[in-house]
């Protein structure tokens, strides 16, 4: 059995157990987790990946592996900065039409550096 897969599953099982403990006062959540779906999933994962209670107890917590919750901060831009970023995006679009892909990515990246608030720039890049 691949040790990494076993540890990942153990972390997930640990997460499910923590959810049950954390939400024990919320009857809806607790009931949903305690009834068959939770138990079946837990038992299936433990069986398929040969995960014991000891493995679960020593598994790393799952949520910190995904990083802390971040709230993106919106940067205020001057009209000139917005125009400059938009111009760079348009230059990137033109470069794409001309199949100059590296140049297009560079222009989109420059636009993002000026205005990271616009998701279109990220999508284009």
pLDDT digits (tens, 9 = 90+) for 26-77: 666 555 555 556 677 778 888 888 888 888 888 888 777 766 556 566 778 8
CA 72 to mean position of chain CA atoms: 14
Q: Is the dihedral of CA 106, 107, 108, 112 positive or negative?
A: positive
CB atoms within 10 A of CB 18: 13
pTM of the model: 0.44
Q: Residues 52, 46: contact at Cβ < 8 Å?
A: yes
Q: Rounded mean pLDDT of the chain?
A: 80
Element (H, E) at 22: helix 3-22
Q: What percent of the chain has pLDDT over 70?
A: 77
Q: How high is the pLDDT of residue 120? A: 83
Q: Find where tokens 């305690």 sit.
A: 34
């Amino acid at each position: 059995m691949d040790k990494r897969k076993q540890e990942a599953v153990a972390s997930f099982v640990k997460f499910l157990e923590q959810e049950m403990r954390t939400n024990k006062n919320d009857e809806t959540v607790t009931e949903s987790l305690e009834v068959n779906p939770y138990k079946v999933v837990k038992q299936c994962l433990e069986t398929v990946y040969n995960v014991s209670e000891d493995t679960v107890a020593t598994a790393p917590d799952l949520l910190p592996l995904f990083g802390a919750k971040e709230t993106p901060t919106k940067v205020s831009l001057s009209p000139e900065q917005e125009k400059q970023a938009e111009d760079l995006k348009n230059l990137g679009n033109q470069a794409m039409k001309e199949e100059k892909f590296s140049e297009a990515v560079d222009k989109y990246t420059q636009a993002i550096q000026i205005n990271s608030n616009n998701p279109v720039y990220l999508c284009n890049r």
